[in-house]
Structure 1
């Protein structure tokens, strides 16, 4: 009987131990689940904030400008661009890349229309949203063409910056005709990666322009130095002539002085009596 009681007590202790271990494991898993729930809530809040940003035209434009600023400041020297540059027609572009002619300064616009794109992704009227998206892009291309392409002031082309690789890729895949139409109107649609590559090319152009400018300055300074050297040679020649004339004058002066001295000696050598003979007879 006692053996059975001891066996039962041992089994109860083991069961209690297993229950405690199970409870501890459940508690740990609940803690992990609670942490995951907190992360999901935070992510949901961030997604909501991002959706609010993308849904607000001004906030979305600011986001595009931030991306554009980061890319341009990373690739170009400070003297190679101007933010919020006002053109001669009174319009202001987000950024003007200050390339020399040709091709000339290139305007970059970051205010890409996204309302119709968002509606086209998960809206019930996708065909209508698609037509609206195409119309929005064409309208934006027209605005860029009319505002930022100024003969003699800017380059013949401008850049429309799309702050999303996915949208940029979808544009070229699903709306290739629209992208080609924009290019024919000298408005080139670029995404972050495409703009990065374009900026590398612009960086090379700016470096070459700077080297050419420095070479022109060096050539100008060399030409000025050659002019000063010629002027110095003329002045040295004139001074040499003055010295030659002065030396000749000195020789002539010395000759005249010698003759005067010789005549003085000859005069002193003459034997001239103090009184004339007639005066002595008297």
Structure 2
């Protein structure tokens, strides 16, 4: 019996430890929720997540942070799209995190409370879209649309399931709502486009180099042909000069030979006077 009580006592101690850990976890969760409820903290959270996605997929020179779109109007991030000449076209991306409205929706206990919380969240998202449209969509400096980044997949799923709201934001305010997954896919497709464009630009540079080489080769061919003609002329002239001089020298040498032979044959033998 005492042994059984000892086993039960140990099990109760284990349960007590588990309850303590659960309380600590609940306290941590509450602290996290309170932190995210703070406007500054949740703004930082959304911005940090957005920056992480951009830096993971794009090169540093393909986007900018805290970009001034107009006087006194700065957007958190802007992707640099190909524009006219060396001036890029900016695609504004702003993170929004209406966590109070979203939490009220999650905490709603009945249909009436859910409907109220959902309408409140919809109104907040619509306000965000109008704000982004009025501040950050400024063609031709920017694209004619912008992205609203929602940092949690649950919040994003809640918003896009309202098809009418999604289409209203896109058509009326030119704002497309994105979550982490959809933004990653969008940025990846942009990066592929950037690489394709870079290859096309490099191909154009290669063709320009080849055209320059062809032009220089044509010039070289002309100079070489001219030099060849000059060499042929010089060779012909040299051949003629050598031929004439050789014949002249030979004639002179033959004259010398003839003169020598004539002088030798005209000499008489000398008599020896000692024999008389």
TM range, normalised to the smaller chain? 0.7 to 0.9
How far the C-alpha of 1:258 sits from its partner, in A, is: 4.3
Cα distance change of structure 1 residues 127 and 259 upon mapping to structure 2, 3 Å threshold: same
CA distance in 2, matches of 1:152, 1:256: 82
Name the counterpart of 1:72: 54
Q: What is residue 270 of structure 2 aligned with on the other side?
A: none
Aligned position for 2:43: 61
Where structure 1 has 5 or more consecutive residues not aligned to the other structure, the ranges are 1-17, 272-282
CA deviation map 1:239-279 (0-9, x unaligned): 223322322342344355447646866997999xxxxxxxx
Residue equivalent to 1:109: 94
Q: 2:21 aligns with which of 36, 39, 43?
A: 39
1:244 equivalent to 2:232? Answer yes
Residue 176 of structure 1 is matched in structure 2 by 163
Give structure 2 stretches of 5+ with no counterpart. 260-276
| TM-score of the superposed pair, with normalisation by structure 2 | 0.74
How far apart are residue 65 of structure 1 and its match? Answer: 2.3
1:247/1:41 CA distance change after superposition, 3 Å: same
CA RMSD, 1 decimal: 3.4
Deviations 1:102-130 (A, max 9, x none): 99542221133333333455479877765
Contact 2:69 2:75 in 1 (8 A): no
- Find the counterpart in structure 2 of residue 12 from structure 1: none
Q: Does the alignment pair 1:216 with 2:239?
A: no
Map of 2:147 onto structure 1: 159
Shift of residue 29 of structure 1?
1.5
Question: 1:84, CA displacement in angstroms?
Answer: 0.8
Aligned mate of 2:82, from 100, 107, 117:
100
Number of aligned residue pairs: give it.
251
What SS does structure 2 have at the residue aligned with 1:118?
helix
The match for 2:70 among 89, 98, 107 is: 89
> SS of the residue aligned with 1:38?
helix
Q: Which range moved further: 98-107 or 122-131? A: 122-131
> Secondary structure of 1:94's partner?
strand
Q: For 1:232 and 1:38, how far apart are their aligned partners in 2?
A: 89
Query: 1:6 corresponds to which residue?
Result: none
Deviation at residue 83 of structure 1 after TM alignment: 4.0
Give TM-score, length-normalised by structure 1: 0.73
